[in-house]
Amino acid sequence: MTIPENLETPTPPVDVIDASTEISQLVRAKRRRGAALFSVFAENKLALAGVVMIVMILLFCFVGPLVYHSNQVASNLSVANTAPGKGHPLGTDNVGYDELGRLMIGGQTSLEIGFAAAILAGLFGVLYGAIAGYFGGIIDTLMMRIVDALLSIPVLFVLLLMAAIIHINQLNLTLAVAFFAWLVPARLIRGETLTLRTREYVQAVKGMGGGASRSIFLHLIPNAIGTIVVNITFQVADAILALAALGYLGFGLPPPAANWGAMLSQGVTYLYAGEWWLIYPVGLLIVLTVMAFNFVGDALRDAFDVRLQRR
């Protein structure tokens, strides 16, 4: 029995089949790359420990004050320098602030400034480096000489000078820390861009009349996302350390605001009096936070390197 011609199933055009096949292949390739990245990251035990520590620290700083209530505005000299015990699990400081509640509030400030400074520095540094690498020539030379000149300046000295001149608040501290933090991502992304701009897809965009902004934002920066994510992770740790150093040297947020560096600086005065609770808890939190972000950053760097090798 023959099927009439008008009842035969029409065959889709060849180009439709090819297009759908290519899309499905791209989706599967992206899923494989994502699975490979996660697999490499998950194999790193230190990275998993770092993720757990970061989550615990975030819960401690931002959820803890909702559970453990303490007065961090009005001082109480009658209970100043009280040892850990009932009512004050980690004791009190020299003006009677509960040390456990102070650690939570100080951690909020340190983490907020650290994340904000890292993101600001990353965004500006990525854009700066991508522009320099894409155009090359005299533009690249001039832009990178500015970066080299700023990198030659002692960062801590300039931060101290800026903190002494400007009014200290959370926004100004964030901008001060980010002012120098963008230099490293700018150099990294500039190097990535010098390599990526010679790829066929970038040359094809130029050949079709695409502008520099299209190449930079749609092709160069997305293909350097691995380097960007890894660098921002390290930038958070560096920003927290820089803020701790400023606070330790007396250029942190004025009371009653708190940050870990200022708490550490105040506690050193009473270390020889045996008041260990003013030193060790805050010092341990600073070390654990920086270590956690460094562990995660190292693992992300390895994971993205493997992904790029397999691509």
Domains and CATH numbers, the chain: 35-70+88-310 (1.10.3720.10)
pLDDT of residue 166: 78
pLDDT of residue 88: 87
Higher confidence at residue 135 or residue 310?
135
| 124 pLDDT higher than 60 | yes
144 band by pLDDT with thresholds 50, 70 and 90? very high
Whole-number average pLDDT of the chain: 82
| 33 pLDDT higher than 50 | yes
pLDDT of residue 145: 93
Question: What's the half-sphere exposure (Cβ side, CA atoms, 13 Å) at 107?
Answer: 28
| 282 pLDDT higher than 70 | yes
Dump the DSSP string for the chain: -PPPGGGSPPPPPHHHHHHHHHHHHHHHHHHHHHHHHHHHHHH-HHHHHHHHHHHHHHIIIIIHHHHS----SS--GGGTTPPSBTTBTT-B-TT--BHHHHHHHHHHHHHHHHHHHHHHHHHHHHHHHHHHHHH-HHHHHHHHHHHHHHHTS-HHHHHHHHHHHSPP-HHHHHHHHHHHHTHHHHHHHHHHHHHHTTSHHHHHHHHTT--HHHHIIIIIHHHTHHHHHHHHHHHHHHHHHHHHHHHHTT-SPPTT---HHHHHHHHHTTGGGT-GGGTHHHHHHHHHHHHHHHHHHHHHHHHHHHHHHH-
pLDDT per residue over 174-229, tens digit each? 888 888 889 999 999 998 898 888 888 778 877 787 778 888 888 888 888 888 88
- Cα 31 from Cα 37, distance rounded (Å): 10
pLDDT of residue 28: 62
What average pLDDT does range 82-97 have in this prediction? 87
Percent of the chain residues past pLDDT 70, beyond the cut: 87
- Cα 278 from Cα 275, distance rounded (Å): 6
pLDDT of residue 200: 80
Is 228 in contact with 217 (CB distance < 8 Å)? Answer: no
Quote the distance between the C-alpha of residue 242 and its chain's center: 14
Which of 45-59, 211-225, 240-254: highest mean pLDDT? 45-59
Which of 126-130, 224-228, 244-248, 304-308: highest mean pLDDT? 126-130
Is 102 in contact with 60 (CB distance < 8 Å)? Answer: no
CB neighbour list of residue 9: distance below 8 Å, 6 or more residues apart: none
Question: What's the half-sphere exposure (Cβ side, CA atoms, 13 Å) at 76?
Answer: 14
What average pLDDT does range 237-252 have in this prediction? 83
Q: Which of 12-26, 27-41, 238-252, 275-289 shows the lowest mean pLDDT across its residues?
A: 12-26
pLDDT of residue 224: 86
CB neighbour list of residue 272: distance below 8 Å, 6 or more residues apart: none
What average pLDDT does range 246-254 have in this prediction? 79
Residue closest to 90 by CA, chosen among 282, 292, 296, 298: 282
What average pLDDT does range 15-34 have in this prediction? 56
Question: SS in 3 state form for 107-126?
Answer: HHHHHHHHHHHHHHHHHHHH
- Cα 311 from Cα 207, distance rounded (Å): 25
